A and B are shown apart, each in its own frame.
Chain A
């Protein structure tokens, strides 16, 4: 089965530093998402992206967050100035089309902010 690929699998950073989390969605997919999961908690929506622009973003996705699809294959999440509470597992997900389509999740990037 095709896979969503995320790198790195683990990222440790100092508070206030910028991080970029990278994702390669499945090649023929059109809709892209970032979710995050704080340890032991539910999976929370951050942002959805379609046709090279943000479709929707949650309250979590403030001015410190941004997303890009710079080259038609990569899909990145940037956190400009990390805070301790940004520590979480970040999942990228994609789906092919609207309607009855499942979300394919990547294996996640565990971000630890010290």
Chain B
């Protein structure tokens, strides 16, 4: 079953912050975040493993609440380059061939 993302779409002015949420009804081993520009392949942002960790680089960070099976992606002081569709991908187990199941996507538009 696919994870559910919210919001579906958001429009921000440059410099504003955004939070994108990803929820699963199943227990998760990990959450991956990807950004996809129109017509391009998804680009990896970060992985979070169960254990409630938080990660970040530059002005993009994420958290993973294992108990709630939820992850949130935080974009602070957004830049024009952040525009795109953000997908979370979830893994239910730590098997090598475990597939990533992608969420419904959140379209982020940054305007000057």
Q: Is A97 an interface residue (CB 8 A)?
A: yes
- B101 and A45 within 8 A (CB): yes
A30 interfacial contact with B, CB 8 Å: yes
- The answer to the question of A76 belonging to the interface, with a C-beta cut-off of 8 Å to chain B, is no
Dominant secondary structure of chain B at its interface with chain A: loop
Say yes or no: is B47 at the interface (Cβ < 8 Å to chain A).
yes
- What's the tally of chain B residues with a CB closer than 8 Å to chain A? 25
The answer to whether A97 and B105 touch across the interface, beta carbons within 8 angstroms, is no
Contacting pair B87 A42 (CB below 8 A): yes
Question: What range describes how many residues of A lie at the interface?
Answer: 20 to 34
Task: List the B residue with the shortest CB-CB distance to A4.
Answer: B41
Asked whether any CB of chain B lies closer than 8 Å to the CB of A18, the reply is no
Which among A43, A44, A104, A106 has the highest number of chain B CB atoms within 10 Å? A43
Q: Are A98 and B103 in contact (CB under 8 A)?
A: no
Are A102 and B96 neighbours in the complex by a CB distance under 8 Å? no
B99 is an interface residue with CB less than 8 A from chain A:
yes
Q: List 13 A-B contacts (CB under 8 A).
A: A30-B96, A31-B96, A31-B97, A35-B102, A42-B2, A45-B100, A45-B102, A100-B30, A102-B44, A103-B44, A105-B41, A106-B41, A108-B40
